[in-house]
Amino acid sequence: MPKKTTIYDIAKALNITAATVSRALNDSPRVKKATKELILETAKQMNYEQNKLAQALKSGKSYNVGVIVPYINSNFFASVIRGIEEELYPKGYHVIICQTHDQENLEIENINSLLNAQVDGVLMSISNSNIETNPAFKNLVRKHVPLIFFDRKKDIKGVSSVTIDDFKGAYMATQHLIEQGCKRIAHLSNDQSLEIFQNRFLGYKQAILDNGFEFDCNLVVETTSKVESGSLSTKKLLSLNNPPDGIFASCDFSALGAIKEIKAHGLSIPDDISVIGFSNEPFSQFMELSITSIDQSPMEMGRIAANVFLDEVNSNGNVKSEKHIILAPELIERKSSIKELLLVD
């Protein structure tokens, strides 16, 4: 194995001290610009690689950041991760990605593994955990490791978050269906232990009441973020004596399941039943029957979460108040909800 180049090899080649080489490689202002440029060029020619572990021990930073998501194969979370990476990579950080599969035990294991890896911070979207506060969260706070929640969060003192206004997004979705002439609107809900789905349900309910309709709990069916679950839930709704003429799904995957089931029953979308989802997944715009959805600005969410982390990690230990940034949702109108009758001039 060839011997690795050291700062002493560079110093010997240039007939200067190793201390001067070290200062130049660490961008010290004590080294003249011309000397620094010569040292950097020589280091490059000699294939010198700095010891990252030694740098971390010296600076107190590993320049690694953990990102934990429920699922990586979701466009929403993939886009958030991309936003995080685009902000952190230019600052010299590397991102370690973990997924929980929505399981509490994996969430705890991921956090502990990242702590053992000496990460400088953790950015995460929590799992469907039923416990009030995962003890691993408190461990991060106790060790003064910046923790920033995005999308899914819990309220923990000293922990910042970046989310979308889920209540407003759900209200907008329901209001849109009402404006399309729907009078009996169902909601495919999701795990109510998560704040985002609580708020989507509450936004839906408030829009129903504000428009003078009676809230009917039979039109609210709990489902999961899967196509099959959305299909089964819609099957229950279609079996009602008075089925809905509009469906607001808490995610695009359950909305897709709803569309499949409605078609299987020989009904027309949107003439018989209008459908709207949430998240604006890419497939929602490329289908023959494109799906109306609420956009969550995942790239922006990731970038903002990364900058919140940078603010905290660069605070030099100064006490900083937690930040709670709420992004505005956007209604993306497509074929699944817009009735042709209303498109005629």
Interval 251-297: pLDDT, tens: 999 999 999 999 999 999 999 999 999 999 988 988 889 999 999 99
Let me know whether 156 and 302 are in one domain: yes
- Examine the pLDDT at 129 and tell me if it is beyond 90: no
User: Is 55 within the bounds of a domain?
Assistant: no
Let me know whether 204 and 235 are in one domain: yes
Let me know whether 70 and 146 are in one domain: yes
User: Is 125 within the bounds of a domain?
Assistant: yes
User: Is 139 within the bounds of a domain?
Assistant: yes
Q: How many domains does the chain have?
A: 3
Confidence band for 345, pLDDT divided at 50, 70 and 90: very low
pLDDT of residue 1: 52
User: Is 106 within the bounds of a domain?
Assistant: yes
In angstroms, the Cα distances linking 64 to 83, 127, 138, 309, 317 are 16, 22, 20, 12, 18
In angstroms, the Cα distances linking 243 to 9, 104, 179 are 79, 37, 19
Let me know whether 173 and 263 are in one domain: yes
Handedness of CA 210, 214, 217, 221 (dihedral sign): negative
Let me know whether 309 and 210 are in one domain: no
Q: Which two tokens stand for residue 107?
A: 């969430």
Let me know whether 278 and 193 are in one domain: yes
69, 124 Cβ separation under 8 angstroms: yes
Greater pLDDT, 206 or 137: 206
- Structural domain span for residue 104: 61-163+298-326
Q: Which two tokens stand for residue 325?
A: 């940034």
Let me know whether 88 and 172 are in one domain: no
pLDDT of residue 137: 84
Task: Give dist(CA 270, CA 294) in Å, integer.
Answer: 17
pLDDT of residue 6: 85
Whichever domain contains 36, its CATH number is: 1.10.260.40
User: Is 43 within the bounds of a domain?
Assistant: yes
Let me know whether 205 and 339 are in one domain: yes
Let me know whether 192 and 68 are in one domain: no
Q: Which two tokens stand for residue 278?
A: 């949430």
Confidence band for 193, pLDDT divided at 50, 70 and 90: confident
Let me know whether 211 and 140 are in one domain: no
Whichever domain contains 206, its CATH number is: 3.40.50.2300
pLDDT in tens, 130-156: 555 677 888 888 888 999 999 999 888
User: Is 102 within the bounds of a domain?
Assistant: yes
Let me know whether 284 and 180 are in one domain: yes
User: Is 127 within the bounds of a domain?
Assistant: yes
Let me know whether 291 and 170 are in one domain: yes
pLDDT in tens, 36-83: 889 888 988 888 876 655 555 555 678 899 999 998 888 899 999 999
pLDDT of residue 343: 43
User: Is 56 within the bounds of a domain?
Assistant: no
Per cent of the chain over pLDDT 90 is 61
